[in-house]
Amino acid sequence: MDRTRITIFDTTLRDGEQSPGCSMNVQEKMRMAYQLDRLGVDVIEAGFPIASDGDFEAVQKIGATFSRPVVCGLARACQQDIDRAAQALKGAARPRIHVFLATSDIHLQHKLRISREKCLQQAAEAVRLAKSYCDDIEFSPEDATRTDIDFLCHVLEAVIQAGATTLNIPDTVGYSAPADFGALIQTIRQRVRGVDKVVISAHCHNDLGLAVANSLAAVAAGARQVECAINGIGERAGNAALEEIVMTLRVRPDQYPYDTGVLSEHLFPASQMLCEITGAPIQPNKAIVGRNAFAHAAGIHQDGMLKNPLTYEIITPQSVGVPDSTLVLGKHSGRHALNQRCEKLGYTFDRRELDEVYRRFVLLADRIKTVEDHHLQELVREARGAKPAASDRGEAAKTAAAAAAQNGGRGPLDMMIPPPAEATPSVLSRNRTPEHHGEQEDYLWGV
């Protein structure tokens, strides 16, 4: 069955670059635009042509280079901006001018210092002018979610009559909750004359961490375009994260029976490229593209993952372009994960050896947080009694020595590890016999 298609409007190169520290020059925007095209976004908002010569050039080049996606330039609702945007988009195969004007009383009184009447007239005039250059016109009533609903509906009706083809509803200050935002979209669909001839779009900011939830609520209420940015970058707390919206639609068709044209295996490369270009890192626990999104640390989880990844992953890493899941070896790891990593390093153990390596591993992990492969190699050598020469002790010993120095100067790795277990049996191991190797063992041991 064909699902309803949601237009993915990418604003990484416009709202996204308004993120402090994320501005991009023309070459950087071009590089990113190639990746957005590969990703399959429907609209690339390439910049704000009046803002700078560089932004003008970026919109111009991106517009002239790409013929599949719509390429969009932003303009305030005034002649100067609209003329400049139209000029930048002259050579574009699929140009769109995006006109915006604030409509909330807070913005009208304190920022623009104009009346509602003036705002209504200016919005319609601006859209008419933009329409004289280009068929595809998007209008955004800035701060829509704090705008009086009757006035908002009037403005939207006026801009439809003036030729707008997309009505974008911005939650400019990230104030909405999903139920409010969904209800707002529904009200607009019910009350604005001519709304059935245009596309309704959502543009959500993340000040309360609700940008993705609000965007999805808008889709459920009838919005058919979502504005979003790679890694969720954007003004202040950012825009809705493109990768989170796309993957939610993909993973939960039962809740959201909609499709996008995004090729999800290009999500992680796009995220990485953006980090590289802007130098802005993403939080490790960021959904979909963060370093830890497919990393498992707890022994119970690692054991489950080794038995079947479905136990702890709802998305395969490969489906979003992440090379593989990782099992991070640390103090929460169990023997199953340790054994598997050691096998990859070329070691095979009998049960008794594994017990000894594991005992040493846990002690080391307690001190150095993450146990890397070279630590393991060192540890196995020592567990097997082949003590390395003092000059050849390697990183594990150095790290352990440093940890030991902090810990009362008790010397290198082997000095830090007490003799085998009898003296301090774990509660779970106390009554174990060598035959006690059931399926559940790592589950219990790996905590």
> Which residues would be at the binding site for ligand KIV (CB under 6 A)?
15, 100, 140, 142, 168, 170, 172, 203, 205
Q: Which lies closer to ligand KIV via its Cβ, residue 15 or residue 37?
A: 15
Signed CA dihedral, 201, 206, 212, 216: sign only: negative
Residue 142 CB, nearest distance to Zn ion (Å)? 8
Q: What φ, ψ does residue 431 adopt, rounded to 5°?
A: -100, 20
Q: How far is the CB of 123 from ligand KIV (least distance, A)?
A: 13
Nearer Cβ to Zn ion, position 15 or 37? 15
Segment contacting Zn ion (CB under 5 A): 10-18, 114-122, 250-258, 304-312? 10-18
In the bound state with ligand KIV, the residue whose beta carbon lies nearer, of 95 and 317, is: 95
Match 């298609």 to its residue by tokens.
5
Which structure tokens are listed for 340?
């598997």
**Of Zn ion, ligand KIV, none, which one does residue 100 interact with (CB within 5 to 8 Å by kind)?**
ligand KIV
Write down the H helix ranges in 204-348: 211-220, 242-251, 267-278, 299-307, 335-344
Q: How far is the CB of 93 from ligand KIV (least distance, A)?
A: 23
What is the token pair recorded at 191? 């009350």
- Element (DSSP H or E) covering residue 26: helix 26-39
Under a CB-based contact definition with an 8 Å cutoff, are residues 316 and 308 in contact?
Answer: no
- Out of ligand KIV, Zn ion, none, which partner does residue 446 contact, by CB within 5 to 8 A per kind? none
Q: Residue 286 corresponds to which amino acid?
A: K
Nearer to Zn ion, 239 or 271 (CB): 239
Question: Which of residues 6, 8, 9, 15 is near Zn ion by CB under 5 A?
Answer: 15
With CB under 5 to 8 Å by kind, the binding choice for 142 among ligand KIV, Zn ion, none is ligand KIV
State the distance between the two ends of the chain, measured CA to CA, in whole angstroms: 44
- Contact segment (CB under 5 A) with Zn ion among 7-15, 37-45, 212-220, 251-259 equals 7-15
Least CB distance from residue 78 to ligand KIV, whole Å? 14
Compute the least distance from the CB of residue 269 to ligand KIV, in Å: 26
Nearer of residues 74 and 162 to ligand KIV, judged by Cβ: 74
To the nearest whole angstrom, how small is the minimum distance from the Cβ of residue 233 to Zn ion? Answer: 11
* Positions in 104-133 near Zn ion (CB under 5 A): none
Which CB sits closer to Zn ion, 232 or 317?
A: 232
92 vs 89: CA distance, rounded Å? 5
CB of 29 to Zn ion, least distance (A): 18
Q: How far apart, in Å, are the Cα atoms of 270 and each of 21, 320, 323, 431?
A: 18, 10, 14, 52
d(Cα 212, Cα 107) in Å, to the nearest integer? 25
> With contact defined as beta carbons under 8 Å apart, do 86 and 122 qualify?
no
Which listed range, 12-20, 46-54, 300-308, 437-445, lies at the site for Zn ion (CB under 5 A)? 12-20
CB 339 within 8 Å of CB 353? no
Q: Identify the burial level of 439 via C-beta atoms within 10 angstroms of its C-beta, where 0-12 means exposed, 13-18 middle and 19 or more buried.
A: exposed
Residue 158, classed as helix, strand or coil, is helix
Torsions phi, psi for 296 (to 5 deg): -120, 130
The residue count for binding Zn ion (CB under 5 A) is 1
Residue in the shown chain whose Cβ atom is closest to Zn ion: 15
Query: Helix, strand, coil proportions of the chain in percent (round to 5)?
Result: 50, 15, 35
Least Cβ distance, residue 12 to Zn ion (angstroms): 12
Which residue, 19 or 399, has its beta carbon nearer to Zn ion? 19
Shortest Å, Cβ 54 to Zn ion: 20
User: What count of Cα atoms within 13 Å lies in the side-chain half-sphere of residue 132?
Assistant: 8
Binding partner of 174, given Zn ion, ligand KIV, none, CB within 5-8 angstroms per partner class? none
40 closest CA partner among 230, 195, 170: 230
Stretch that binds Zn ion, among 9-17, 90-98, 130-138, 264-272 (CB under 5 A): 9-17
Partner touching 356 among Zn ion, ligand KIV, none, CB below 5 to 8 Å by kind? none
Q: Which stretch binds Zn ion (CB under 5 A): 14-22, 107-115, 267-275, 427-435?
A: 14-22
Q: How far is the CB of 205 from Zn ion (least distance, A)?
A: 6
Give residues in contact with Zn ion (CB under 5 A).
15
